[in-house]
Amino acid sequence: MYLMFFNFHLLVVVSWMLFLLQFIKAVEYKKDIEGYIFGFLSLFFMILVLFIGSRMMIMNPEVVKSGGWFHLKLSLVALLILENIFFLYNFIKKREISIKLAEILYWVSYMFFMFILALSMFRPF
């Protein structure tokens, strides 16, 4: 049962990554319709990631004590959640975000997601 949740969690994390990155690009190029679609889909998958991840921690509580990799992963997820909320808030309020900032946050979030997936699959420390 836990492995089924783990596999589904990885799938949802990848979906969140794709929609968040597409949302950042839509904000960068000022596309309204795509921005709303990708923004709310990234928010939906973010909430789904949090729900499934917390469910997995309840099913296997010793993973919380398993090492620094888990705390680093949760810290990166918290930063990505803040970034998702930042972009969605600014998009809904029609505030301008500089192209340079959007480009930097795009690549930072891309690297964070890759690092999160690596930490989840390999658990290095």
pLDDT tens track for 42-72:
999 999 999 999 999 999 998 888 888 999 9
Q: How far apart are CA 2 and CA 23, in angstroms?
A: 31
pLDDT at 18: 97
pLDDT at 107: 97
Q: Into how many domains does the chain fold?
A: 1
- Pinpoint the alpha helices (H) of the chain: 2-28, 32-59, 68-92, 99-122
User: Can you give the residue range of the structural domain that contains 27?
Assistant: 2-122
Residue 118: alpha-carbon gap to chain centroid: 14
Its pTM stands at 0.91
Dihedral (C-alpha) 62, 9, 75, 60: value to the nearest 10 degrees? -10
What would the pLDDT profile of 9-32 be if each residue is shown by its tens digit?
Answer: 999 999 999 999 999 999 999 999
What would the pLDDT profile of 103-118 be if each residue is shown by its tens digit?
Answer: 999 999 999 999 999 9
Check pLDDT > 90 for residue 121: no
